[in-house]
Structure 1
Amino acid sequence: MAHLFETIMLVCFGVSWPFNIYKSLRSRTAKGKSLQFEILVVIGYLFGLAGKFIANDVTYVVAVYILDLVMVSTDIVLTCRNMKLDRLAEKERTLVL
């Protein structure tokens, strides 16, 4: 039963990441995003995974951790790309003025 509740918790957290990824792709800006927050989320997922392996409790829940980790990592890559696009756009605005 504990695995089921942990899976539900991870799914609830994980549901938001596809929306974040979509927003990052469409907006092409990092404004309003927190890279530090996303990195902390990845660290949290890594510690959760480490706990599973240390406790020798590797079940289907690990797959949900990995899926969430992949989605957050994807959004981090997009956030970094968008930060670069923001810097380039700012340089362009500066040159035009």
Structure 2
Amino acid sequence: MAAEILEAIMLVCFGLSWPMNALKSYRARTAAGASWQFLTLICLGYIAGIAAKFCSGSISWVLAVYFINLACLAVNWGVYFRNKKLDAAEAAEKQAAA
């Protein structure tokens, strides 16, 4: 039980950063400085954690925290692709004006 609580604390600490990151990126309106590779690695890490829960048979309430974090990462992906689109539109405007 203590291990589950510690794991959940770790996941909540990481998980709280994703909404803050999404909001910061949304306000920035650019994908500059964002990394799809980083987001991919984080997603793979959470998926591995979920798989480990299933493989070890230790499915518990902590699994829900993994899925919440993945949902927050999905929002980050959405903001990333939105910002890439905004960057492309701005580049096209600059090219048309030149």
Give the aligned partner of residue 64 of structure 1.
Answer: 65
CA distance in 2, matches of 1:50, 1:22: 29
| 5+ long unaligned stretches in structure 1 | none
Cα RMSD between the aligned structures?
0.8
- How much does 1:85 deviate? 1.0
TM-score by length of 1: 0.95
Partner letter of residue 80 of structure 1? F
Number of aligned residue pairs: give it. 97
Give the aligned partner of residue 5 of structure 2.
Answer: 4
Q: Which aligned runs of 4 or more in structure 1 are off by greater than 2 angstroms?
A: none
| 5+ long unaligned stretches in structure 2 | none
Partner letter of residue 51 of structure 2? A
TM-score by length of 2: 0.94
Deviation digits for residues 4-45 of structure 1 (CA, Å, limit 9, x no counterpart): 110011011111111111112212111111111001100110
- How much does 1:53 deviate? 0.8
CA distance in 2, matches of 1:43, 1:31: 22
